Amino acid sequence: MKQFLLLLSIFITLACGSDQTTKTTLFGEFQPGASKEYSIIGVTPFYDKEMINLKYSFYINDDTGLNLLKDSLTAGPERYSISLDDKMFSVYLVKGKEMLHPSININPINRNVIFNRHYFDFDPSQLTRLREKYPIEYTIDWLEFSTENEYFAFLSDHKNDDKLLCYQDNSSEYDGEGVIFIKKTDKITTWREGMDLLISITTKISNDDRECTVSYNPSEDESVKFKYVVYSNKQIYDKVNHNQFDKQDWVKSAKGIIVYWKK
């Protein structure tokens, strides 16, 4: 709860928006001296294989730098029409070594910043200045752990490892998943009809999306059956039954994290 309130206070000025002439400090409410645990990192996302925005990367973990960022990183007026692409640059508050959500997502090419589904003008030269003062070089790894014990052991082993800048927990919010094939019949002729049947059963077991959700996975040959994935714990999955279902084994979700290593 305290972590949530801290994040809320950090981003509150941006969430409230601004008029067409004023600028908003993105970290205006952050108090660096409040805890030595916090740092701020600007990185290119894991999915950006070209790493086109690597040149803006920065890492700040001292009060002088955090105060500089707190007072200088600003957004301009809100924008209502923008050009979209996936060449993003993300700024995270880091506690210990864990990257916290939400992040501030910046598109330096299109000169905008995105927060809470709102878009604002952004001058990317701010990132250049931060990079000049607080440069960082890194590599990015995706790691999976078969058990939570392995996951916590890794974090414990690297707690004081200066090479590990930070990590982002990217695990599934569900305990596991199971594949269900639904046979194509005169009553189930489309994937949507199969989805409706599956959802009609899962909602009787759990009405909460946080406990169970369903996705359709297109496959090359759908002349015989359609493929779906049910995300839930094993107890719920075991109750999802129908004579048209071809159920596969439930598989426990792997613990996955994105790790940023200092070069």
Q: Find residue 31's DSSP bridge partners.
A: none
Q: What is the pLDDT of residue 115?
A: 67
| pTM, rounded to two decimals | 0.65
Strands (E), 184-224: 212-216
Sign of the torsion formed by the C-alpha atoms of 13, 17, 22 and 23: positive
Q: What is the pLDDT of residue 198?
A: 94
Sign of the torsion formed by the C-alpha atoms of 26, 32, 34 and 40: positive
Q: What is the pLDDT of residue 20?
A: 44
Q: Which fold has domain 176-252?
A: Alpha-Beta Plaits (3.30.70)
d(CA 59, CA 152): 25
Token look-up 């029409």 returns 81
Domain boundaries, the chain: 2-136, 176-252
Q: Find residue 176's DSSP bridge partners.
A: 232, 252
Q: What is the pLDDT of residue 190?
A: 92
Peptide bond into 102 cis (omega under 30): yes
Burial class (CB in 10 A: 0-12, 13-18, 19+), 166: buried
d(CA 120, CA 24): 10
Q: What is the pLDDT of residue 34?
A: 53
For the chain (length 263 residues), average pLDDT per consecutive 10?
42 40 68 70 82 90 81 81 70 91 84 78 92 94 86 92 92 84 92 93 83 84 89 92 94 87 95
Token look-up 């001296």 returns 33
By the 8 A CB rule, do 228 and 214 touch?
yes
